[in-house]
């Protein structure tokens, strides 16, 4: 744990089944009159944005549905232009991480001017943005409670983040009923993103007691409910458990940061357009193997939180159970085991590792020192074993 810790708190959190019915009160509380719901075309087809807009009949409300998946900086600039042209005074991000991150960035661009690219990096936004209410309809990114937005730089074929206190929501509203219709595949990928946030936050160099609490509770909830949420999507108890887990994981990594699962997932997204949750899900056990030696006790805690029986095991053996538990969960919900299964060629390893080394927001918090050679080792392990290639000895884990 770092000697000084900072916890980025959320100012207002509204939770509960059916809590979307209180949205008009939240908008009125923020004294808004012209409201923009930022969402994506897929969600429009579910009818959810129209239902949410209908709750705001006392306000001038519009729906903006041109959000891209893994949004580019240009698409965010376009959304911000619309916000300014229409005189919007409150932005609602409704959907998964892409609409929420687009809404967060549009709100700061509307008041600060300039382009999205001007604010990439840490605390480069000079002034607060428009008020924003963030409403997730997936359970994974935790973006509704973080000070981060992740964007695609198409020209550079990579992804980078904006970190700013002004990206925090004025209100985050979590209603599990909005997640019930989410397809199993997306539930699986986003749920594994949340699990990755929790695990990476728990073993982070920037972990602190408050983030530990949220991270372990998120891991417990995902371990007990993600399978049900994926395979029995109408089970509202499981949906609520997973949504709460995603929230807790967001509160954990929002202050403790993430590590090299995310650091390597960024180039998989930027170079090969692999969706964020899937990239994380495939990478997670491979990066855990690399990190295990640097956080044996903490991996043992993760195994316990995942429901593994570790009585009588050595700390090292208990830690390995955490990796087995993640692999078992991934298998049960249909996550690919190797990067090849995502259509990425083995020859991409060097480019992925080079790009990942530039992601200092993930390199620094990672519990084990990150080197280019270390990343090559992780990636070699994350591709299907080749005939004649010896198993990596970088890890020394799970090979006994």
Nearer to Fe ion, 193 or 308 (CB): 193
Which parts of 331-360 interact with Fe ion (CB under 5 A)?
Answer: none
Pairwise CA distance, residues 226 & 270, whole Å: 27
Report in angstroms how near the CB of residue 141 gets to Fe ion at its nearest. Answer: 6
Which parts of 123-142 interact with Fe ion (CB under 5 A)?
Answer: none
The pair of structure tokens assigned to 249 is 């994981």
Report in angstroms how near the CB of residue 53 gets to Fe ion at its nearest. Answer: 28
* String marking each residue 141-180 x if it binds Fe ion according to CB under 5 A: ----------------------------------------
Pairwise CA distance, residues 151 & 99, whole Å: 11
Phi-psi region of 48 (alpha: psi -120 to 50; beta: other; left: phi over 0): alpha
Nearer to Fe ion, 280 or 380 (CB): 280
Which parts of 191-250 interact with Fe ion (CB under 5 A)?
Answer: 193
Nearer to Fe ion, 195 or 230 (CB): 195
Task: Kindly list the distances between the CA atom of residue 129 and the CA atoms of 5, 132, 351, in Å, as whole numbers in the listed order.
Answer: 26, 8, 36
Decide if 143 contacts 184 (C-beta within 8 A).
no
Which parts of 377-396 interact with Fe ion (CB under 5 A)?
Answer: none
Nearer to Fe ion, 221 or 321 (CB): 221
Who's near 393: CB < 8 A, 6+ residues apart?
none
Pairwise CA distance, residues 222 & 80, whole Å: 35
Pairwise CA distance, residues 336 & 389, whole Å: 21
Select from 252, 198, 259 the least CA-distant residue to 223: 198
Which parts of 71-90 interact with Fe ion (CB under 5 A)?
Answer: none
Nearer to Fe ion, 216 or 397 (CB): 216
Number of residues that bind Fe ion (CB under 5 A): 1
User: Which residue's C-beta sits nearest to Fe ion?
Assistant: 193
Report in angstroms how near the CB of residue 264 gets to Fe ion at its nearest. Answer: 12
Report in angstroms how near the CB of residue 262 gets to Fe ion at its nearest. Answer: 6
3-state secondary structure of 365: coil
Which parts of 179-198 interact with Fe ion (CB under 5 A)?
Answer: 193
Nearer to Fe ion, 20 or 249 (CB): 249
Nearer to Fe ion, 70 or 193 (CB): 193
Residues 251-267 as b/e (b if ≥16 CB within 10 A, e otherwise) read bbbbbbbbbbbbbbbbb
Report in angstroms how near the CB of residue 78 gets to Fe ion at its nearest. Answer: 24
**Count of Cβ atoms closer than 10 Å to residue 127 Cβ:** 9
The sign one gets for the Cα dihedral 278, 297, 248, 264 is negative
Nearer to Fe ion, 193 or 381 (CB): 193
Report in angstroms how near the CB of residue 161 gets to Fe ion at its nearest. Answer: 11
The pair of structure tokens assigned to 350 is 């060097």
Report in angstroms how near the CB of residue 329 gets to Fe ion at its nearest. Answer: 17
Q: What is the DSSP letter of 109?
A: H
Report in angstroms how near the CB of residue 63 gets to Fe ion at its nearest. Answer: 26
The CA angle 318-370-344, to the nearest 5 degrees, is: 90
Question: What is the binding site for Fe ion (CB under 5 A)?
Answer: 193
């Amino acid at each position: 744990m770092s000697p000084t810790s900072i916890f980025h708190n959320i100012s207002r959190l509204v939770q509960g089944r059916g809590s979307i019915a209180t949205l008009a009160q939240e908008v009125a509380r923020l004294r808004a009159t012209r409201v923009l719901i930022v969402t994506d075309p897929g969600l429009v087809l579910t009818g959810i944005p129209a239902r949410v807009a209908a709750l705001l009949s006392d306000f001038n409300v519009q729906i903006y549905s041109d959000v891209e998946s893994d949004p580019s900086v240009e698409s965010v600039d376009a959304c911000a232009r619309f916000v300014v042209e229409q005189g919007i005074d409150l932005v609602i991000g409704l959907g998964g991480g892409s609409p929420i991150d687009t809404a967060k960035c549009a709100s700061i661009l509307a008041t600060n001017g300039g382009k999205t690219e001007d604010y990439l990096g840490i605390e480069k936004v000079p002034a607060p943005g428009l008020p924003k209410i963030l409403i997730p309809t997936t359970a994974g990114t935790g973006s509704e409670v973080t000070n981060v937005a992740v964007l695609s730089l198409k020209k550079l074929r990579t992804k980078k983040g904006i970190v700013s206190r002004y990206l925090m929501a004025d209100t985050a509203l979590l209603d599990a009923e909005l997640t019930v219709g989410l397809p199993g595949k997306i539930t699986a990928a986003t749920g594994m993103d949340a699990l990755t946030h929790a695990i990476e936050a728990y073993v982070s160099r920037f972990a602190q007691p408050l983030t530990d609490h949220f991270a372990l509770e998120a891991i417990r909830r995902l371990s007990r409910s993600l399978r049900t949420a994926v395979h029995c999507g109408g089970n509202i108890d499981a949906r609520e458990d997973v949504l709460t887990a995603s929230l807790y994981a967001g509160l954990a990594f929002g202050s403790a940061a993430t590590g090299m699962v995310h650091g390597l997932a960024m180039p998989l997204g930027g170079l090969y357009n692999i969706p964020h949750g899937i990239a994380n899900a495939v990478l997670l056990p491979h990066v855990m193997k690399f990190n295990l030696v640097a956080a044996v006790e903490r991996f043992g805690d993760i195994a316990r939180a995942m429901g593994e029986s570790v009585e009588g095991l050595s700390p090292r053996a208990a830690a390995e159970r955490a990796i087995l538990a993640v692999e078992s969960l991934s298998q049960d919900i249909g996550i690919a085991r190797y990067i090849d299964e995502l259509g990425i060629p083995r020859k991409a390893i060097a480019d992925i590792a080079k790009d990942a080394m530039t992601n200092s927001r993930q390199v620094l918090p990672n519990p084990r020192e990150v080197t280019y050679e270390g990343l090559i080792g992780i990636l070699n392990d994350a591709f299907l074993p080749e005939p004649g290639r010896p198993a990596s000895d970088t890890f020394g884990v799970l090979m006994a």
